[in-house]
Structure 1
Amino acid sequence: MMSGTAGQLKGGSVKTRSGAAGKIGYVVLYIILIAVAVFQLFPLVWLLFFSLKNNQEVFNLPPLSLPTHPHWENYKKVWSAGNIDVYFLNSVWITIVATVLTVVLGSLVTYAITRMKWKGSNLVLGLFMVAMMIPVHSTLIPLFSMFNKIHLIDHPLSLILSYVAFNMPITIMILLGFYYALPKEVEEAAVLDGCSVNQMFFRIVLPMTSSVLATTGIINMIYNWNEFIFVNTFISSDKFKTLTVGVQNFIGQYTTDWGAIGATLMISILPILIAFLFLSDRIVEGIAAGSVKG
């Protein structure tokens, strides 16, 4: 009896120690995560303070110091005098159009590769995957020459075509795993009911892939919204510029309005930050759903 009691006490002490170690581990993990979160938020806090300062405060005050008198007029200046309202609207509609086209075309390509039997499907998939390895900078001169010949330089269509082309490979790659896991029995039942290929895709497959479509849409939106190289290369008119290049309006030959630049950057960050905060769960859900091949 005494040996049994001793064993129970020993087992209880081991469980207590393991429980305490687990709690300590969780505390350490939370401390690390909080530290990482603070480190990630540091640039946003710095940019907010930066956008509310004038040039003297930017250079004379410590980076994280509050502005002596918050200059909210920086935001008013960039929105009206800085033409940022036009750049903002251009960023919105170009991002939406390019994202929708990429997601729809990527879905059609992925459906054809994974659900339909035809010669050359593996070759087509391989070409799209190889395209992911092509550096963007190496395509600027060929694209500029091509767009110049077809009169698309200084035209929004040059941006939309470029965004769709460069985002298609990553979109298809994300969609592949999800499409492979779709049950074929649903499509077979639809065929028996007289459903055509087009009806099957738009009425059955697309609704079933809504979560992964949301993931690809958000990823495309972030890339299109933040893109700078193509806009700076192909667009010269103010009426077609986006927010990423609009910030250059406040950089002069002899002076630079740093507060206005900070306000412009803050305006450009807020929409994508808000969208990510509300839709981050969909990103994780879509990536997890497409990570398993059935």
Structure 2
Amino acid sequence: MRSEALSPSVFKSKAGLKIGYGVLYAVLTIVAALQLLPLVWLFLFSLKNNQEVFNLPPLSLPTHFRWENYEKVWSAGNISVYFLNSVWITVAASALTIILGSLTTFAMTRMKWKGSSLALGLFMVAMMIPVHSTLIPLFSIFNKVGLTDNPLSLILSYVAFNMPITIMIMLGFYYALPREVEEAAVMDGCSVNRLFFQIVLPMTSSVIATTGIINMIYNWNEFIFVNTFISSDSHKTLTVGVQNFIGQYTTDWGSIGATLMISILPILVMFLFLSNRIVEGIAAGSVKG
């Protein structure tokens, strides 16, 4: 067989495609470097003393790497207690939100009952309620039932405010689940509880990972509720504990930087390892049918 020569237009299109990809990768590399600059600045900031913070350029290396800033905030600054509080409160609130959100979404998408549309509408309306407008009513309620200065007040608040966005993300994924699997399980005598926990819940692992990461990021970085409801040091989290290094006359900026670096690392590591699951869950939940 006689081979046909490729036309010049084909070579031009391939060359143009390679140039386009090259420009795209260059732009993405520059954007990624710009995104990393604040982290680099904060890391260098955490290894300086007050004089170096104000006298040296922002991205300059310290004259001496002061790793003792991390040791000081972890032991003397009580950051270890705040860190553990942030971990268990974040995990507890996120797990409770995911379980309740999954149950609610399953009931709205797989069961026929009066008021399901109204319930869904109420959850969506709740997304428009500003957090600041609820501080005084919530504080009054928690004060009456004895939950002020109690981690349970934080967990309940986080669950209430994260439920709408959790349900909204899960809705699209649940609508896309094939009903044939559930119908076959029901025909085999599967109860509703077994249907949800043994069949539906494992099928939604990707969207659970997505909502879990979103909930953890919000709960870990939350400040307003902790600052309003918690007063004792034994229940404070990292976001509020950083204020310990801000004095009336002096401020230890290096220790503040070390505290912020410690607070960023867990979320950063979790996001790096589970970022693919976030994209997978959002993409799967964005298509119905």
- Which TM-score tier does this pair reach, normalised by the shorter chain? over 0.9
Match of 2:175 in 1: 180
What CA deviation, in whole Å up to 9, does each residue of 1:191-232 have, x standing for no partner? 111111111101111011111111111110111111111101
Match of 1:45 in 2: 40
Aligned partners of 1:38, 1:141: CA distance in 2, in Å? 42
Query: In terms of mean alpha carbon deviation, does 44-53 or 184-193 score higher?
Result: 184-193
Aligned partners of 2:156, 2:103: CA distance in 1, in Å? 17
1:10 Cα deviation after fit: 9.9
Amino acid in the other structure paired with 1:72: W
Alignment map for 1:272-283 (pairs within 5 Å): 272-283=267-278
Q: Secondary structure at the match of 2:90?
A: helix
Q: Measured at CA, do residues 235 and 16 of structure 1 come closer, stay the same or move farther in structure 2, by a change above 3 Å? A: same
Alignment map for 1:126-275 (pairs within 5 Å): 126-275=121-270
Aligned partners of 2:218, 2:67: CA distance in 1, in Å? 29
Aligned partners of 1:13, 1:245: CA distance in 2, in Å? 65
Q: Would you say how many aligned residue pairs link Structure 1 and Structure 2?
A: 287
Amino acid in the other structure paired with 1:29: L
Amino acid in the other structure paired with 1:279: L
> Which sections of structure 2, spanning at least 5 residues, go unmatched?
none
Match of 1:29 in 2: 24
Aligned partners of 1:248, 1:10: CA distance in 2, in Å? 72
What CA deviation, in whole Å up to 9, does each residue of 1:228-248 have, x standing for no partner? 111011111000000011100
1:11 Cα deviation after fit: 6.2
What CA deviation, in whole Å up to 9, does each residue of 1:11-36 have, x standing for no partner? 62111111111111111101110111
Identity, in percent, stands at 80
1:69 aligns with 2:64: yes
Q: Could you state the TM-score of these two structures normalised by the residue count of structure 2?
A: 0.97
What CA deviation, in whole Å up to 9, does each residue of 1:270-290 have, x standing for no partner? 000000000001111111111
1:60 aligns with 2:55: yes
Q: Could you state the TM-score of these two structures normalised by the residue count of structure 1?
A: 0.96
Alignment map for 1:67-106 (pairs within 5 Å): 67-106=62-101
Aligned partners of 1:19, 1:245: CA distance in 2, in Å? 55
Amino acid in the other structure paired with 2:58: P
Match of 2:103 in 1: 108
1:117 aligns with 2:112: yes
Aligned partners of 1:51, 1:127: CA distance in 2, in Å? 45
* Divergent runs of 4+, >3 A: 8-11
Q: Secondary structure at the match of 1:292?
A: coil
Query: In terms of mean alpha carbon deviation, does 19-28 or 52-61 score higher?
Result: 19-28
* Cα-Cα RMSD: 1.2
What CA deviation, in whole Å up to 9, does each residue of 1:26-52 have, x standing for no partner? 111011101110111010000000000
Amino acid in the other structure paired with 1:71: R
Match of 2:280 in 1: 285
Amino acid in the other structure paired with 2:59: L
Match of 1:5 in 2: none
Aligned partners of 2:66, 2:160: CA distance in 1, in Å? 41
What CA deviation, in whole Å up to 9, does each residue of 1:129-166 have, x standing for no partner? 01111111111111111111111111000000000000
1:61 Cα deviation after fit: 0.3
